[in-house]
Amino acid sequence: MSLRELMLADLAVGLASVRDGYEVMPAWRILTPEGTYRIAPRFDPDRLEQRQRMLALLPRFMAWKLATAFVLTAETWLGPQRTRSGEEAMLTVGVSRCERLGIIRRIRRMPALSFAPPEWLAADALDDSYFRLLPPGVSCIMAEEAAMLANVFREDGELAARRVN
C-alpha cells in the first residue's frame, strides 16, 4: 500500500470514531522492516509534559525499529490551539524518506455532523516538527536505551506498540 493509501485508510478510521461519538486520540502507524506497529497513546491534551514525553520517545522508538515511514492521525483545531477556537478537523500526516504529505477533513458539527471534502496539504503547509520525528538514518541505540524502549512500548506499556501484520 502506498503512503497516500495508508493515510486515507487511517483518516477514515479517525472520522468513523468522530461519527460514532468517540474521543479521538492520536494514532501512529509506524512502518519498519520487521512489520507495522500501531501506537495510540492516551494522554491528557492539557498536560504538556505528557505530550512532550510522547514526542521525545516516539522518534527513539522509530530509530530503534529502523522505521522507514509513519502515518499520524489526530483530531486538531484550525486556529489558536490554546483556545480551541476555529474549525475542528481530522489531520493525517504521512512521512517517509521520500514523501511528506498531509490531508485534512474539516469537521462540522452544526446543524448536523458532517465532514468537508478531503484537502491534501503540501509539505510547506505543515509544521516542520512532523518531519523531524522520523530519524534521518541509522541511529545508535545502546542496550540500556533499548531495554527502556522495550519496556515503554511493550503491549501493556505506557505507549503500547502493537504489531498489525
Q: Are 65 and 32 in contact (CB under 8 A)?
A: yes
- Determine contact, residues 69/131, Cβ cutoff 8 Å: no
Q: Say what the pLDDT of residue 81 is.
A: 56
pLDDT in tens, the chain (165 residues): 899 999 999 999 999 999 999 888 889 999 999 999 999 987 776 788 888 899 899 999 999 999 999 999 999 887 655 545 568 899 999 999 999 999 999 999 888 899 999 999 988 889 889 999 998 877 889 999 999 999 999 999 999 999 997
Give 100's DSSP letter. E
Number of structural domains in the chain? 1
If you ran DSSP here, which 8-state letter would residue 26 be given?
Answer: P
Q: Which domain holds residue 138?
A: 3-163
**Pairwise CA distance, residues 92 & 76, whole Å:** 10
Write the DSSP symbol of residue 25: P
Give me the pLDDT at residue 84, please.
Answer: 52
Q: Which one, of 72, 71, 73, 70, lies nearest residue 18 by Cα?
A: 73
Number of helical H runs and strand E runs in the chain = 4, 8
Written as one letter, the residue type at 163 is R
